[in-house]
Structure 1
């Protein structure tokens, strides 16, 4: 089954927590702190797999989570890092942030890897918090929370040439005649429900990939008919071959068909409409077509298009068309949809997060923020030195100043997640 889009949720692993521990040994009455650090959480990494050609696997599994880092141990032992989660996708997959709509990466190279969600850092053990005046720190730092995103995956077929045109104009027949592809062919509209790819071999070591894109109709750019589901698959092509039924056997004008499809391409994507086009006037084997072809060719060549009269059913004119396509492709640059980052491995941040938020709920000052959750988790509320460390962190981040600006008074209640305490200067 072919599937070219999917929505999934990814979550990187959390960092492991630092350990609170003190060295204990025979004849050593009071050893120093020796709590180890937590391990780093695993990243979520996307990787191109040339063997895949559909996103069907994401129909059944939509949630992906990398392994969290292990907590630190005693005797300065650090926790094990969480394993990275590698998600394999077909070449040509674009990954978007569902919330912002931002394109994060265009996966177009075999073996290409990209870190989408970065694992949380491991928390530091209490060995790091010892000072000359605080020799027995009874607290450690919690691990950072791993990033998580809701993503949209879109697969856009990678082909050098895209066959476009109305349904039932002979695109699938052309593909079957010039390559080893075996598309479904029948005499009714929308026979082709998925993009079909074929390799056209011209000479030894010289070939190109051609895609039979399902038929477009008027209104396709707004999603009518097969619309957006398939327009995306011509975006990557370097060259468009516009197939037209020049016999007009279905009662439509060949010129009007040509103009209608180009209008839909323009509405969908201006860059796509600007791709070079070669016109293949098909069904030349039908009696009475020669005169219509002559008028059609004269009109389009006056507009600057190269026109070939062909019969896909009888193979007439296809060889000349394929050689011309091959020669034209050699003069065209590759089509890049997204500006690529030069690094092999990239971390993308799709949203900026406020350091904290404060609001008043029934007279209680509620303070929220991911970093606050981490600092609070690192605090031993029964230990004076740990509480001092917590207060300094709040002051350094500006929480205390923000509370005072909001008019907090001595004795007012402050809530940070599940913990409440009275405000005191």
Structure 2
């Protein structure tokens, strides 16, 4: 073999050897089933108005949509609340979730969706607790026309430009339902009191109706809401067949509700009543709600006669119940609202109708004068204690 042929053969063998050494297999294409998703632990922003979370994808592709789903009940899916990642695919993505509810626990999962097939994969579930930065207390002093509620706003929300309450007959009310703002802003406690009054009353609520209420603050034109509470307005039948006309909102000192008889106080021997048989000022007689029973017992102790309204209210059983009394003036004002909404009528009747339209309270002004309500128009009146011209109305508490 000549040298030229030998050189040619060596070149061919070297080429074949190099070709085999350079051969490496191409990678197998990854499919959606290979994708691994990791949820990033949600963390609160410093003002507790939002939380940060996100996800990590083991690889990206143009057909993969990614984001975060969340809810307040657990095991969220893309059918719940969604927060999307950036429109351009990214293996690590971060999302801020706002418009959250204070006091709630949010459950979060990262997700990826195959936009070609619709298949969805999820990361593990993680959670974050939102502190109660707005605390709505129970609703109190509930009448057929209004109520009051206390609210506390935490210091992290002190930058609010408005704070108040909203309520509705449906759950989860917003400021677009009935709402009332406080006259101040900032952090701390505030109280909203809506009292309809009795002279041409403005009824903030309807009687015998369940309402749902939330407090709120407004920061940078965004509303943030506190916990939801509920209450039922008076106007329903109480335990003794009368109408409930006041609800403290909670049981204290052994009672919560005030209930009125459906008809005025009557006795066969005395249809009209006086406050006392003789003039004189009684100490420890109050005008406040919750004091009518004590007033009546004190009046009866020295005026135990059938023509004295407080004595007969305590003495006379009604619907087989014997814990009735004559209301204080503030209790009587709330009772009158039952007449305004048509649940009870005026007591005026007979030859003394001009006078017995006035209903006695168990409260006094001085030694000769007591307080009452004109049931024709709801006005407060001053009445002579010893004139036997007026009506009485039994109430009880339970």
Higher relative contact order (CA 8 A, sep 6+): 1
If the length of structure 2 is used for normalisation, what is the TM-score?
A: 0.25
Higher helix share: 1
Structure showing greater radius of gyration is 2
